[in-house]
Structure 1
């Protein structure tokens, strides 16, 4: 299958999905979300694929869901937002529910929806220059996939989400359990490839059932229901249109996304330590 926003290849039992919009910091637009799902469909039915790696082209993993596309499409109201958020949510959760192990390989920014995608993967490996965050509240948006508290606990999740932190370093992400490893930039590809090949050498049914058991340990605490409830809350936020988000998007349409980001940042002149 030909893709326009991602690259897909399989080598030695490992499928590799590359988010391929480097000119837009690999922002997740609607086309890319559809192509990610198509690639996951292909990887899941391919008996030769035993593990899946997702990465970003160039110097970034991804800046998150595409705000420029939102600016141009102008969705308003719950009815228009519902299918968009459902697609965002379901695409991210493909990596959690996938019967095969998933690995995120992260360079540079990994923010908002992209951060949630990396959290949904079974393992995440990052370079020292990688940084993570959930900046949505700082410009009036909600959280689509509220995975963070299930990964790092409620106290740290509240700090990151409510403060809109967008510069969680790889070192801190490792310390709080957002990621598994930090490796040198020139060793990232080799590291995730070796992990994928290692997984590929194990009986796939054993890996599938063990991943299911590991996921169930968290899901039994009510995670899936809580995620759906959080999605409903985000739908109400986006469908209702917060004043901050309306102002942000108006500036973006009139003066461009960089001006809107500058407006956002000017409201928070003191960066949190």
Structure 2
């Protein structure tokens, strides 16, 4: 059995629970985290006992998104390395959409950027009152890796969120926009997700698998997968070239730390 260092994996009552477990970093999704998520998903998908998968986060948050500090230290450059990074990010996100078994995100605290995209890729999202969603990437000169949001809400709302870098969407607004199914009091998000999963587990798994495939196809036949790949290619071009905003953000982060870089970013939008 694989030992995980960035997540916890557990199977109970036909449900696999993947708990992102880097609470000291708000469960930021670095290379190791993404590799381990894929390993956990491989295990859950091939385990005949597992009929549903729940993903959640340890500590104060679901996840702050892809790990900028790791990127800061690695200083990736060039088309090949960025293709490797972004393909890994994209393919991990889409594991939850493509998974033959139902996937449920149980969210509390921050659920931003790449982590928000994982929640969007899940079949169902349960959110605690404390949950905060958003896509802040453009605010610091990055692109969107998995452009699922326009498929989950209407175009005008998706454009406002992405093009202004909204990163503080509360759960009530998230329900209105259509990317959260249920809101529960803080501390009850995982229990509610497991309750939903247990209901699914009673149903014939072959029926669930086939019906999920049919629902997904209703999006994919309209070109969703082609559109997502096109958006990924645009993000690859953005990151390979390196926008002036991203370079400035990273320079502040290297000199003064990530917290100060985020303050620097936010000061640009005051007023």
Q: TM-score range by the shorter chain?
A: over 0.9
State the Cα deviation string for residues 73-127 of structure 1 (Å, max 9, x = none): 0001212100000000000000000000000000000000000000000000001
The equivalent of 2:268 in structure 1 is: 267
Given the alignment of the two structures, is residue 47 of structure 1 paired with residue 48 of structure 2, yes or no?
yes
Question: What runs of 5+ residues in structure 1 fail to find an aligned partner?
Answer: none
- Compute the TM-score of the two structures, normalised by the length of structure 1: 0.98
Taking the aligned partners of 2:212 and 2:45, their CA distance within structure 1 comes to: 14
Q: Quote the residue 1:238 is aligned against.
A: 239
Shift of 1:217: 0.4
How many equivalent residue pairs?
A: 270
Counterpart mapping for 1:10-159 below 5 A: 10-159=11-160
Alignment partners' CA distance in 2, 1:116 and 1:42: 22
Runs of 4+ with >4 A deviation: none
- Provide the C-alpha distance between the structure 1 equivalents of 2:202 and 2:261, rounded to a whole number of angstroms: 49
* Structure 2 unaligned blocks of 5 or more: none
DSSP-derived class of the 2:50 partner: coil
Q: Secondary structure at the match of 1:186?
A: coil
Q: What are the superposed Cα offsets for residues 190-227 of structure 1, whole Å, 9 maximum, x if unpaired?
A: 21111111111111110000000000001110000000
Cα RMSD (Å) = 0.6
Q: Deviations over 1:149-193 (max 9, x none)?
A: 000021100000000000000110011101101011232222111
1:224 matched to which residue of 2?
A: 225
CA contact (8 A) 2:9 2:16 kept: yes
Give the superposition deviation at 1:256: 0.5
